[in-house]
Amino acid sequence: MFDNHVHTRHSPDCATEPSDAIAAARAAGLSGIVFTDHWDIGYESFNAGRFPPAEYARGELRNYRSAGGAFSVLIGIELGPTPAVRGEAERAMAGASFDYVMLSAHYAAAGGAGVTGGAGLPGAAGAGAPDSAAGGAEGAGAAGAAGAGPAGSAAGDMIYPQCEYGRLFEKYSKSEAYAAYLRTLISLVDAYDCFDALGHFDYISRYSPYADPIMRYRDFAGLFDALFGRLVSRGKALEINTATYRRLGGAPSFDADIVRRYAELGGELLCLGSDAHRARDVGGQFGEFRDALRACGVKALAHFEERKPIMTKL
Ligand SMILES: [Zn+2]
Ligand SMILES: [Zn+2]
């Protein structure tokens, strides 16, 4: 198995040495590792990219790159933009030689009612512009975001910059908040073509305070169908991310109906990723997830080399 989602000290919220992550992947018996450091643009984020993507892609990590052997090291990126900066993000990805571009969102926008025909959030207008009290979001020891707030109207009315998730859950119900996040993903997928896979679709549940934080297909069937239909028709992969369950504790309790529905709609490209911000989390819970995915009928997993999918039997 490949771990398609690993951070290094090139991410603002991570201190892991690349060589330590590689050693951990080998020790875990993986076939390969894909570095995917953060490049969030278009809004204030403490995951904001601190490197030009082209330089990152051909920089230090390139020394570790190897493909196709007994153990592969590949270079990707976690691209976290808003729809408003499409030009900049598309140009940056086109100008960099990545193996893998994973699109993700660390925010939720209040807009998007037109995206799926669903209703917008109640009282969403003007819900943005929070003052910031940075909490530790993705990864420990994250630098505090100074004065985080929406960058203009780039993301519509941003209700959930990543350090404000507590406020989001105070203000909206689980169903409203999760639906807003899924609509945000749909609007990103509509805006971008420069990506290979959509990362952590269930990111919002990682920080959810609800007794039952799991995101279920039956509660958001229309939104999942809209999202998966877009991914499948355009040959984009879906990431299954183990970090949510590592954080929540317990077994890989992702909703099997989500994986089954993705397959029903023709989806064949599933990438597994740990979202490790510490070397010891590389390959985290992959054994349990392998079993759970097999139980859903998944026969193979994907990783990308030079932006082309390669399937490996599960
Ligand atoms: Zn992320
Ligand atoms: Zn990540």
Per-residue model confidence as pLDDT tens digits over 263-276: 999 999 999 999 99
Give the ligand at the shortest distance from the Cα of 106: 1
pLDDT at 132: 29
Lowest mean pLDDT among 1-5, 180-184, 260-264: 180-184
| pLDDT tens figures, 7-44 | 999 999 999 999 999 999 999 999 999 999 999 998 87
Tell how far the Cα of 138 is from the centroid of ligand 1, in angstroms.
7
Give the ligand at the shortest distance from the Cα of 80: 1
Lowest mean pLDDT among 45-49, 119-123, 126-130, 195-199: 126-130
pLDDT at 136: 31
Tell how far the Cα of 104 is from the centroid of ligand 1, in angstroms.
6
pLDDT at 147 over 80: no
Give the ligand at the shortest distance from the Cα of 8: 2
pLDDT at 115 over 80: no
The dihedrals phi and psi of 102, each to the nearest 5 degrees, come to: -105, 125
Task: Give the environment of ion ligand 2: residues with CB less than 5 A.
Answer: 78, 275
Tell how far the Cα of 142 is from the centroid of ligand 1, in angstroms.
13
Give the ligand at the shortest distance from the Cα of 36: 2
Tell how far the Cα of 82 is from the centroid of ligand 1, in angstroms.
14
Give the ligand at the shortest distance from the Cα of 277: 2
- Measured at the CA of 195, the angle between CA 191 and CA 198, to 5 degrees, comes to 85
Tell how far the Cα of 243 is from the centroid of ligand 1, in angstroms.
10
Give the ligand at the shortest distance from the Cα of 207: 1
Q: How large is the average pLDDT for residues 53-80?
A: 95
pLDDT at 173: 86
Tell how far the Cα of 295 is from the centroid of ligand 2, in angstroms.
26
pLDDT at 206: 86
- Domains in the chain (CATH in brackets) are 2-313 (3.20.20.140)
pLDDT at 247: 82
pLDDT at 113 over 90: no
User: What is the chain's length?
Assistant: 314
Q: Where are the alpha helices (DSSP H) in 173-217?
A: 174-191
Question: Does residue 206 or residue 74 have the better pLDDT?
Answer: 74
Tell how far the Cα of 123 is from the centroid of ligand 2, in angstroms.
31
Give the whole-angstrom CA distance, residue 90 versus residue 165. Answer: 28
Three-class SS of residue 6? strand
| pLDDT tens figures, 281-298 | 999 999 999 999 999 999
Give the ligand at the shortest distance from the Cα of 4: 2
Helix axis angle, 286-295 to 256-264, nearest 10°: 50
Residue 192 CB partners (closer than 8 Å, separation 6+): 79, 81, 83, 86, 89, 90, 103
Give the ligand at the shortest distance from the Cα of 35: 2
Cβ–Cβ under 8 Å, residues 145 and 224 = no
Task: Give the environment of ion ligand 1: residues with CB less than 5 A.
Answer: 104
Tell how far the Cα of 101 is from the centroid of ligand 2, in angstroms.
12
Give the ligand at the shortest distance from the Cα of 203: 1
Three-class SS of residue 92? helix
pLDDT at 121: 56
Q: Which residues of 272-309 are buried (b: 16+ CB within 10 A; e: fewer)?
A: bbbbbbbbebbbbbbeebbebbeebebeebbbbbeeeb
Residue 164 CB partners (closer than 8 Å, separation 6+): 130, 132, 148
Tell how far the Cα of 272 is from the centroid of ligand 2, in angstroms.
12
Give the whole-angstrom CA distance, residue 162 versus residue 106. Answer: 5
| pLDDT tens figures, 166-188 | 667 777 888 988 998 999 999 99
Tell how far the Cα of 155 is from the centroid of ligand 2, in angstroms.
20
Q: How large is the average pLDDT for residues 157-171?
A: 64
